[in-house]
Chains A and B, each alone.
Chain A
Amino acid sequence: MNTNFRVCPETGFHVHKPAELLMKANAVAAVVFLLVGGTFGLLVGLTRWPAVHLLPADQFYLVLTAHGLNVLIFWIIFFEIALLYFCSAVLLKCRLATPKLGWVAFALMLIGALLNNYIVMQGNSSVMMTSYTPMGADPLFYLSLILFAVGALIGTFIFFGTLAIAKAENTYEGSVPLVTFGATVAAIIAVFTIVSGAIILIPTFLWSVGLVAHIDPLMYRMIWWAFGHSSQQINVSAHISIWYFIAAVVFGAKPLSEKVSRTAFLMYILFLQLASVHHLLVDPGLSSNYKMFNTSYAMYLAVMASMVHGLTVPGAIEAAQRARGFNKGLFEWLTKAPWGNPVFSGMFISLVGFGFLGGITGVVMGVEQINILIHNTVYVPGHFHATVVIGTTLAFMALTYWLVPVLFRRDLVMKGLAKWQPYIFGLGMTGVSLFLMGAGTLGVPRRHWDIGFAGTGMTHDFPAAAYTMMALNGMSVVLAVVGGAAFCIIIVASLLFGRKLGEEKSSPALAAEMVTDDEYKTLHASGGITVPGTLCLTFIFFASFAAYYFINWKYLSQTWGIS
């Protein structure tokens, strides 16, 4: 037996120690950048709250740039690298490929992230996350992103290397577990994302130092979004893998059908990244064929895959709970779920918020015709705070509550607060999402310091409801920041002061016993469909989806009267 492994006393996982150290480093860096990025988010929210209007214009754009990069790139990618190492080395009981290179990757990412924050703080790179040309930033701004991306790419290839080692050394039988498969999909999308980022950011860097004369703005936008949008699809694949994982460790749930779930993931590989075109729906020069093929025909196949996951994850939980005796009525399996366990509640809020708020609005705004209603309004950040914050960030938070005792062997501190944290954060972000989308429907522009254009000689009057919604958004931001800060405090305090667990087991148990085939069989014997509650939720979802879709066509029909 290789002494470089330890066996986790609670989960039975064989953990490769060099991999564990790397996971810890990446996860800790992730939380630090979440804290930084969240603080900037508070400043953005308070500035866009009309009655507060905290920062002057120049600082607003600086802070908006820093907010986007820290949370959307640094927090999420650091966490994803930790996740990739976990899903390969730990779940496959394998050694991590080239841990030394893992440290090189980590160093590059850390230097990139720190340098980026430093250069944005200097004040001459307030170009926002998208850094559209011909707006120029300091050359170090692009260079820092390139460094970060190279580091992340190395991390991704370490994941693929580890898959190859596990295969060669026969550390698993048959296919890799579904969670590892989902992580593979995330890693595949990451490769396309990072390569696209390099294709556009390297010439832009050369342009910023004067070696390239001109970057075409349309070309920039098109290639940049292969990077900017696809990076959010890494998140989707990652957080859906986490849903499956949490269903397994909290409930002992097996996927309803490996075949169906894997086929849905294959749809992601083939189609998910094409939805990048939804950012270009009003760009001149690109044909409707291009726009519609990518954002409708292709994207719907990816959306269908998301709906499959949205059905099979709660379905798997329902089947497991029913097999364990919570079989009364439609929803006993759900009402008797451990709502006080943040690992579960965070995951479930992530699932519902991602589907209902993020998914439905994402499809609607991806339709070329109705997109025009909300294009470049605060509806867009409303939508992606549902996908990326409620969906991804909350799922990552839920998993972190589970990882702290497993990886760091520390008990969580402030468990009472941890119980409430997903609800506070989830409620705050739901408010952010809904109020931004409401204000966006009324036409409030995104990325805008002052929607009234006061003192510019071209003032615009929005309806009072728009101002109210922006104020409610500001209040929701504060609530979400309280929830986000609670998370960071709980995690950092647990790492520093949490009781050392050693060989002791934490409660509730970190890994539920898997439901056995016999237990599932007794359930089938009782007859009927095994997941009626989930099907009921699915119908509610479809009804909301259809209603919202057609309401938007009605809005569109009223936008320009025919005379």
Chain B
Amino acid sequence: MSPHDVPPENEEIPFMQRLLDNPFILLFLGVASPAVLYLIWGIMEIVSIPLGK
């Protein structure tokens, strides 16, 4: 079924399609993923470098 068809009443919309149809959950995922894996991980590595004397 292409996402443009409206499913019959009794048919469940598949989970992936519901996910892809919700821009705000996608927005959350798209910000959370790089925030954790790039920014937070990176910041943690940089702040754990011992200070030179």
Contact = CB atoms under 8 A, between A and B. Distances in A.
Contacts of A175: 3-4, 17, 20-21
Given A189-B30, A226-B34, A285 B45 contact: yes
A290 B31 contact: no
A216 B46 contact: yes
Interface in A273-317: 273-274, 276-277, 280, 285-287, 290, 293-294, 298
Contacts of B46: 216, 218-219, 222, 285-286
Contacts of A185: 26, 30
A290 B42 contact: yes
Contact of B6 (A174, A191, A223, A293): A174
A330 B20 CA distance: 35
A274 B33 CA distance: 8
A221 to B, nearest CB: 10
Contacts of B27: 160, 187-188, 191
B29 A270 contact: yes
B31 A191 contact: yes
B23 A271 contact: no
A266 interface: yes
Interface size class of B (residues with CB under 8 A): 20 to 34
Given A222-B43, A277-B38, A290-B41, A174 B3 contact: yes
Given A192-B31, A276-B34, A298-B37, A286 B4 contact: no
Interface string B1-40: 0111110000000001101110110110111011101110
Closest 8 CB pairs of A and B: A175-B3, A188-B30, A273-B34, A269-B30, A222-B42, A174-B4, A285-B49, A192-B31
A192 B35 contact: yes
A276 B30 CA distance: 14
Contact of B37 (A173, A196, A218, A294): A294
Given A173-B6, A258-B2, A266-B20, A274 B34 contact: yes
B6 A192 contact: no
Interface of B: 2-6, 16-17, 19-21, 23-24, 26-27, 29-31, 33-35, 37-39, 41-43, 45-46, 49
B34 A230 contact: yes
Contacts of B41: 290
Contacts of A160: 23-24, 27
14 contacts: A160-B24, A160-B27, A174-B3, A181-B20, A188-B27, A226-B34, A266-B20, A270-B33, A274-B37, A274-B38, A277-B42, A286-B45, A294-B37, A298-B37
Interface of B: prevailing SS: helix
Nearest to B3: A175
A91 interface: no
B33 A273 contact: yes
Contacts of B23: 160, 163, 184, 188
Most chain A beta-carbon contacts within 10 A, residue among B5, B35, B38, B39:
B38
A262 interface: yes
A349 B13 CA distance: 38
A182 to B, nearest CB: 12
B38 to A, nearest CB: 5
Interface string A251-279: 00000001100110010011101101100
Interface string A423-434: 000000000000
Nearest to B36: A274
B1 to A, nearest CB: 9
A216 B35 CA distance: 19
B39 A196 contact: yes
A488 interface: no
A195 interface: yes
A186 to B, nearest CB: 10
Contacts of B17: 175
A277 B2 CA distance: 36
Given A196-B39, A262-B20, A285-B46, A269 B33 contact: yes
A286 B42 contact: yes
Interface string A191-211: 110011000000000000000
Given A196-B39, A230-B34, 18 more contacts: A173-B6, A174-B5, A175-B4, A175-B17, A176-B21, A188-B23, A191-B27, A192-B30, A216-B46, A222-B43, A223-B43, A270-B30, A277-B42, A280-B42, A285-B49, A286-B42, A286-B46, A287-B45
